[in-house]
Structure 1
Amino acid sequence: MTEPAAMHDDGVVVVTHPLVQHKLTLMRERETPTGVFRHLARELSLLLGYEAMRDLPLETVEIDTPLEHMQARRLAGKKLCLISILRAGNGILDGLLDLVPSARVGYVGMYRDPETLEPVEYYLKLPEELDNRVSLVVDPMLATGHSAVAAIDRLKQAGCSNMVFVCLLAAPEGVARLRAAHPDVRIVTCAIDRGLDDHGYIRPGLGDAGDRLFGTR
């Protein structure tokens, strides 16, 4: 019996589609080069995006096809907003923009203090009318959850009220922290790994997503 393409559990969606799991395995491999890693991240973001946008509102409109007049469905309300947690979030952002080119885009600049593992904000640029938009907040890794919680705290202060957090990989610690702080924010990911090491990295993971996306160390 074929398993479902996504597993839903208490506000967390793990996308188990075979293509998603295959591409994630390629990303995990140490020898996967930067260009291939970046391309895979873009492809995975498209596949995650379909699940993350499953509940977007629709409206019925009248259109003319080449053959006849009909009633058809299209997205309703304000344009979707994609919010990247810099810098690594841009590796997912590009693929989602391929899927929804008309989406508005925002950025939250966060870096993790290497000593405390706490997030430090250094940049914020957001679209208008966030209270009337569905927003996908994107970051490849949900590790400790500190950056995700801090970013969503900041977005709620700015008026954002309807969010989905999209990541390639998550750790149980990060999922628990984000769900405890923001139970209204659904999480969509490819996998939940074993846990964190002493440096806050996801194990077995795929390494530092930002470094692998941009070829840095």
Structure 2
Amino acid sequence: MIEAPHFSAAGQKHAAAFALPSDLFDGTVNEAVLHQAVTSHLGNQRQGTAKTKRRQEVSGGNQKPWKQKGTGRARQGTTRAPHYRGGGVVFGPIPRSYRIELPRKVRQLARRSALNARAREGMLHVVDPIALDAPKSKVLIGLLAKLGLAGVRTLVLTDGSKPAVHLSGRNVEGITVLPFSDATAYDILHAHALVIEAPALAGSTKESA
């Protein structure tokens, strides 16, 4: 059984550690699958609109720059060949899709591996539900400071959608707030520490894709 430190919503550490659910935390970290998940995520963010003109697309160059023979210079047929300034580009980028689709079970395995990696490093913290009536960045920053995460890139995973908590961290550098079910393997790996609400882990039997 894997355990993580358990804190109150005010940042006070409980005497007993939190037993992480075995359906998610089995200690397995599949680095190959994590690599696939990160590569897929980054590729899917690319627009793929980079474009250069090839020699047939560059304007001009319809005439020979000089006659074929008699000048002593090397023969040339156009000034838009790749070795000319202003000429076409050889093997340059053209618009294409970098999208990589991963099977649902692979995405789920990557997510579990990412969670296990952070738990193994001791960078996973469990907190009681964070209750905010209105957005308060100061409260969220204070909580993370009490957890020893001041200045650490942190991902806060809530039990479902909590707009007040989300808005509290939206404008704070290094803090990201997401519902637990929405977090991907990339989100978890990009953060250096995880703070997860206890009810989110208690209801984690349904895995997100």
Same fold (TM over 0.5): no
In the superposition, the TM-score normalised over structure 1's length comes to: 0.26
Larger % of strand: which? 1
Larger Rg: 2
Higher relative contact order (CA 8 A, sep 6+): 2
In the superposition, the TM-score normalised over structure 2's length comes to: 0.27
